[in-house]
Amino acid sequence: MKRVISLILALIMALSLVACGEKAPVDNEGESKIKDRLVIANGNMLSILDTHNNNDLWCGHVYSLVHSALVDIDFQTNEMKPELATEWSYDAPTMTYTFKLRDDVTFHNGEKFTADDVIYTFNRGMGFSFKQTKLKYIESMEKVDDTTLKITLNSPAAEFLESLNDMWILNQKAIEADAEAGPMVGTGAYVFSMDNFKPDESVVVTRNENYWGELPKSKEIEYKKITEASARVIGLQTGEIDVCLEVPAIEASNIADYEGVELVQQPSSKLLYMAMNMGEKGPDFFKDERVRKALNYATNRDDIIIAMTEGYASPSQGCIAPSMFGHDPDVATYEYDLEKAKSLLKEAGYDENNKLRIEFIYKGGVMAGFYEILQAQWALANVDLVLVSDDSTKTVEITNSKAYHIYQTQWNWSTTCNGLDSLWNSTAGNNRTLTNNAELDAMLADVCSEMDEAKRAEKIGAIGDWLSDYAAMVPLYIDTLLTGVGSNVEGLTLNFNQNHVFTYAYVTE
């Protein structure tokens, strides 16, 4: 009898070992003292494989490992750098860019990279609302030869070149062969494979030995999802993780005091805000300017900063991140003024007997707990804030229906004009206020095509004032980025807009 039991147990054990055997870490003592694998942990991870179908920052982290674009921006110096395009020129009268492309690049599937791939990618991207904002300036594309491409614009576009930095070049054959994973076939330094992709868990990319650029030192990079923030930090402290993104503010001192790990603090361009739905399916009360302004007055940003970030943030100044080009420090802002909020709401017909009921949605994650704080603040102004969704899945559904009331989210500003256009243009995928205002659209088109820097700054300032007065957005604060990094990590570039460059990061033993 005992034998039977032990046999069964042994069998189960053996089976389960087989099942998890492949997870053993890769050991390789050869070469130098560089660890094979760099491990990055975050509360979120790659969730969508189609680079065109989102502007998601976390997805972007993996995209930028796997893909290359025509040009790159060095966000440390704000300089444009060649990537797949070695050089480019712009002819102002004909509004035409001419790109000279690299000749020595192959995709991960073995296809050679040519001008056709660029044309295919841009044409495909125009079908997606997230990329359309950047690509709408393209009038026509012409392949001169495999390594020469001419792109003619339909109007001057001040930030056209900059906006190409995350327009990763895809391969038509790869996408036709596999609609799902095809967009993850790139020309980048690391190779993506479905076998190493476990949604909601982790993704491992392996070094592309045929990479056209300098070969990175890490053989593999793992991007892991650890939802529990304190567990993520502990993982960093115990050395299981090399880079811990989105460190909760409460843990900052724990990391700073811990040996072997460092806390990187940097001011960012990440603006957290709430968007009131101004669209057709939005609630009627937001059409009343007094309500929108009242909510701006009713928001105590200083308290929110303390409660949400332990002070690791700076108050917003208008709807544009203060560090951005053209931001006007004198832009009109709403200081906390409860009485004013109350009287505006009263004028609009809401008071303690007739409270304004607003439904609130957000995607969960770092802003957990925010709802509670805001609800208490707005309750003082006779607003009844009701949580409808704090779950990313449900929120996707509600945002798609365009019938929400108020949506909390964030925007990492990279370039001003593109940011403004992405958040406010009536056709933009990230336009969460669903604003459809002809006057604003015209101003945006105007500023985006303004090639003169001084004039552009002036126009940006004017839009900033217009947006403050419009008040459909409640800007909250600018996050201070907190990143935990192991002391043995080298080559990591952390950028203010969270477009971090992991490609050349490695861990020494």
What does the alpha-carbon distance between residue 87 and residue 359 come to, in Å, rounded to a whole number? 50
Q: Is 92 in the site for another protein (CB under 8 A)?
A: no
Q: How far is the CB of 235 from another protein (least distance, A)?
A: 5
Nearest C-alpha neighbor of 151 from the set 210, 95, 77, 220: 95
Q: In the sheet that 148-153 helps form, which strands lie side by side, from edge to edge? A: 85-91, 96-101, 148-153, 138-145
3 binds another protein (CB under 8 A): no
Alpha-carbon Rg for the chain, nearest whole angstrom, is 25
Stretch that binds another protein, among 97-105, 367-375, 407-415, 482-490 (CB under 8 A): 367-375
For the CB of residue 448, give the shortest distance to another protein in the complex, in Å.
Answer: 21
Pairing of strands 79-82, 313-315: unpaired
Whether the Cβ atoms of residue 191 and residue 107 lie closer than 8 Å to each other: no
Distance CA 384, CA 360 (A): 10
**According to the binding rule CB under 8 A, does residue 403 interact with another protein?**
no
CB of 334 to another protein, least distance (A): 20
Q: What string marks each residue from 418 to 447 as x (binds another protein by CB under 8 A) or -? A: -----------x------------------
Closest CA to 107 of 136, 67, 72: 67
Using CB under 8 A, pick the residue from 332, 348, 373, 457 that binds another protein.
Answer: 373
C-alpha–C-alpha distance, residues 32 and 445, integer Å: 53
Binding to another protein by residue 307, rule CB under 8 A? yes
- Residue 414, judged by CB atoms within 10 A of its CB (0-12, 13-18, 19+), counts as buried
Residue 256 as a binder of another protein (CB under 8 A): the answer is no
Between 160 and 199, how does the x/- string for binding to another protein read (CB under 8 A)?
A: --------------------xx------------x--xxx
The set of residues, in sequence order, having a beta carbon less than 8 Å from that of 24 and lying 6+ positions away, is none
Binding region for another protein (CB under 8 A) out of 146-154, 323-331, 390-398, 467-475: 390-398
Residues 444-483 touching another protein, rule: CB under 8 A, are none
Question: What mask, x for binding another protein by CB under 8 A, covers residues 192 to 231?
Answer: --x--xxxxx----------------------xxxxxxxx
Instruction: Evaluate whether 477 touches 333 at the Cβ level (below 8 Å).
Output: no
Cα–Cα distance measured from residue 119 to residue 99, given in angstroms and rounded to the nearest whole number: 12
- Give the binding site for another protein (CB under 8 A): 1, 4-5, 9, 12-13, 15-20, 23-25, 48-49, 53-54, 128-130, 180-181, 194, 197-201, 224-231, 234-235, 237-238, 240, 248, 250-251, 254, 303, 306-307, 364, 369, 371-373, 375-376, 379, 387, 390-391, 393-394, 396-397, 399-400, 429
